[in-house]
Amino acid sequence: MCAIIATMVGLTALAATSTLATPVPSKAHSSGRLHDTPAENVRKSQWYDHLLSTNPSFRTYRIRKECNPIVNDPELRRECIGSFDVYEPVRPGHRRGH
């Protein structure tokens, strides 16, 4: 019974955080399509770059998401992983996550 309650609580928390993490587009385009303004896009891009450089868990997640699907070309996969160190190096004082 306790395991069922714990599972229900976990699923409820997951559902709540999944809803909160869903990006909300900011403006409607004249065609009815929703999108960010250029300034919002730059701000989000800068935040993404910051997280890659300072948050080991986020960095590991992105490296796995972007590079792990490359299974048939080991050289390309190594280059993908290495590109994170070239374009978004870990900032001093932050440990490497991958």
pLDDT band, very low/low/confident/very high, at 90 (cuts 50, 70, 90): confident
Amino acid 31: pLDDT: 55
Task: Write out the E strands in the chain.
Answer: 27-28, 34-35
Q: Which range (9-18, 28-37, 51-60, 84-93) has the least confidence?
A: 9-18
Amino acid 33: pLDDT: 54
Tell me which residue of 83, 78, 76 sits closest to 52, measured CA to CA.
83
Mean pLDDT of 24-38: 66
More confident residue, 33 or 77: 77
Amino acid 95: pLDDT: 67
Apex 16 CA angle, 42 and 8, nearest 5: 150
If one counts every other C-beta atom within 10 angstroms of the C-beta of residue 51, the result is: 15
pLDDT band, very low/low/confident/very high, at 91 (cuts 50, 70, 90): confident
